[in-house]
Amino acid sequence: MAKVTFITHDGQEFAVEIALGWSLMEGAVKNRVPGIDADCGGACSCATCHVYVDPAWLAMLPPKNDMEEAMLDFAAMAAAPNSRLSCQIRVTSDMDGLVVRIPVTQH
Amino acid sequence: MSQKLIIVGAGQAAAQAVQSLRADGFTGPITLIGDEPYGPYQRPPLSKAYLLGTLERERLFLKSDAFYQETNCELVLNASVTAIHRSDKTVQLGDGRKLSYDLLLLATGARVRRLKCPGADLPGVYYLRDIADANALQAVFSSGKRIAIVGGGYIGLEVAAVAAKRGLTVTLFEAMDRLLARSSSVTVSDFYAAEHERAGVTLKLRTGLEAIEGNGKVERIRAGGQTYDADIVLVGIGVLPNDELATHAGLAAQDGIVVDQNGMTGDPSIFAAGDCTRHIGRDGTALRLECVQNAIDQAKHVALAITGKPKPYSEVPWFWSDQYDLKLQIAGMIRPGDHAVLRGDPAARKFSVFHLRDGVLAAVEAVNAAPDYMLGKKWIADRLRVDPVRLADTTIPIKEAV
C-alpha cells in the first residue's frame, strides 16, 4: 500500500491507502474522494480523472504516453505541466507520500 | 417530505444515479435492487483486461461498500423484480416481498441475444455479459483450444483479440460482409479485419452460423455450408433491452423503454436510464444506446429531474474499444448516407474517419488518434460545420482544421 493525499479544489484533504498496482484513479474512487469522475473507468477515453501532481513529486512518476498527453490537452480544466490522468498512473511503493490536487470540475 | 426511491437494476446507470441524486440533494431513502450477487460494476473490462486476467474482480466494482453506507443506499442483491404495481406504487420481488416506492428508476439494462440454431444449448457455448459469464469463459480459455466466435461486433472482436493473445486458435464468423457493420465505417471495418488477420485470427465474413454439433459438448460448428472443428463457441450477436417489466406495467416500450429528455416514462413517478431505454437523440430520431456514456449521462439527467433541476438530455454518445494495442474511440452516431472523410493513413495504425451530415460533423471514429476524437466530440456537440478538405489534410494540425 502507498499513502496518497488528494486535495480538492476547496482545500479538503483526503489521505488514502492505495494497493500497489492499482491506479491512482482507482484508489481515489475506492476511497470516495470527490472530484475524480473517471467516467470510462480507466480506459484513457474521457479525461475526467485529471489531477495536478505536486511539483515535488513530478519527476518520480513514470512519464505520460502520447495517448494520455493528447487526452489531457482536452480536459475540462486547462492542463498544466504537472497535469496527469490519474487512471494512467500505477501506484508503486515509491509513491508513498504522493500529493495531488483535483481541479474544480472534470466536465 | 422525503420520498422513497427504488432503483431496479444494479449497473452503471444505477451507481451513477445514487451518486448524482445525493450530490444534487435528494434526501429520501434509496433501495437498489440487483439480480446478481454483486453491487454495480464495470462491464467493459469483462471482454478486455478481466478476461485476459490482468484486472482482478475487486477492481471491477464501481463503488466501495462504504459508498452505499455513506449514501444511505440499501443494496438488495440476488433479487429479481417480477412486477411493478403502479396502482399502489409497489414493486413485487421474486421471493414474494413487496416494496413501496414514491419514485422508481428502471435501470434494468440489456441481456444477450441467444442463438436459436440446432445445438445452441450444447455445453461449450458461451455468452459474455456479466461476471459469471466472464469467469466461465476464462475457465476454459487455455492455449491451443479452438474457439469459434459468432458475431463480428465489439464483443466478438474484443474476445478474439484476447483469445489470440492467450494462444487459442480463433475463427470468427460474421453473417454480414464486414466487421462492425452496424456501427462503423467501411474504413474502420477493413482496418480491424486486417489487424485481426495479422494476429492470426481467421475471419469468415458472409458466413452465417447454421448449427453447432457435438456429442454432449461442442465439437464443431456448421457455417456457410462448411464444417469447422471447435472446442468453444463464444456468441456475441447483440443484446435485447430488458423492457418487459415496463411493458407489463403498461408503460410504453418499443425495443427499449420510451423516455423523454428527462429520462421520464409516461408515468411521472417512473424514470428509466441506460441500455434499457429508447430516447430521442440529438438528430431527432429515436434510438437505443448500449454504452457507458449513455448510462452515466441519462442517470445524471434523471437525478437533475428528480431534484427539480431538469435539463434536457442532448449528450453526444461516445464509446471505446481496446483490441491488441489499438484504441478505437468513437463519438456521435454514423448514419447511412453520411459523408466520410479520412484523416491520416490506416497503414500507420493512427487515423480517424470524420462523418459529415449536410456539412455538419455528426460522428468521428479515431484509431490511436485521441486529439481527433476529443476535438471531434466537442465539434459534434457544437454542431459545427466543417471543411472536409482541411479535415483530411494532415499538414494542418487538427486544432486548426476547423
- Beta strand pairing call for A99-101 and A2-7: parallel
Q: How far apart are CA B158 and CA B213, in angstroms?
A: 25
Contacts of B304 in chain A (CB under 8 A): none
Domain count, chain B: 3
Interface residue B42 vs chain A (CB under 8 A): yes
Nearest to B371 among A44, A45, A73 (CB): A73
Chains A and B form CB pairs within 8 A to the count of 51
Q: Does B71 touch chain A (CB under 8 A)?
A: no
* pLDDT tens, position by position, B123-181: 999 999 999 999 999 999 999 999 999 999 999 999 999 999 999 999 999 999 999 99
Residue B335 Cα to chain centre, angstroms: 18
Q: Answer whether residue B119 is part of any domain.
A: yes
The Cα B227–Cα B212 span in angstroms is: 9
Chain B residues close to A46, C-beta within 8 Å: 318
Does a structural domain hold residue B319? no
In this prediction, residue B1 carries a pLDDT of 61
Last residue of some domain: B213, B235, B257? B235
Note the pTM of the prediction, 2 decimals. 0.96
Mean pLDDT of A14-43: 95
Report in angstroms the alpha-carbon separations of B324 from A23, A84, B49, B54, B209.
Answer: 21, 24, 11, 14, 26
Taking residues B47-75, what's their average pLDDT?
A: 96
Residues contacting B58, CB < 8 A, separation 6+: none
The verdict on residue A70 lying in a domain is yes
Q: Please, which residues bridge with residue B226 across strands?
A: B223
Number of domains in chain A: 1
Q: Return the pLDDT at B402.
A: 87
What tens digit of pLDDT does each residue of B241-298 get?
A: 999 999 999 999 999 999 999 999 999 999 999 999 999 999 899 999 999 999 999 9
- The answer to whether the Cβ–Cβ distance between A40 and B64 falls below 8 Å is no
Q: Which of B279, B306, B333 corresponds to the end of one domain?
A: B306
Contact call for residues B256 and B277 (beta carbons, < 8 A): yes
Domain that holds residue B98: 5-111+240-306
The pair phi, psi for residue B355, each rounded to 5°, is: -120, 120
Query: Which pLDDT band holds residue B383 (cuts at 50, 70, 90)?
Result: very high
Distance (Å) from the alpha carbon of B44 to chain A's nearest alpha carbon:
9
**B62 part of contact set with chain A, CB < 8 Å:** yes
Distance between CA B172 and CA B352 in Å, rounded?
25
> What is residue B15's three-state secondary structure?
helix
pLDDT at B2: 87
Which ipTM score applies to this complex? Answer: 0.94
Report the residue of chain B nearest A38, measured CA to CA.
B62
Query: CA nearest A23 in B: which residue?
Result: B59
- Please name every residue paired with B223 in a beta bridge, in sequence order, or none if there are none: B209, B226
CA A32 to chain B, closest CA, distance in angstroms equals 7
Across chain B, what does the average pLDDT equal? 97
CB atoms A44 and B370 under 8 Å? yes
- As a whole-number percent, the residues of chain B with pLDDT over 90 amount to 99
If you search the block for the grid coordinates 439494462, which residue do you land on?
B109
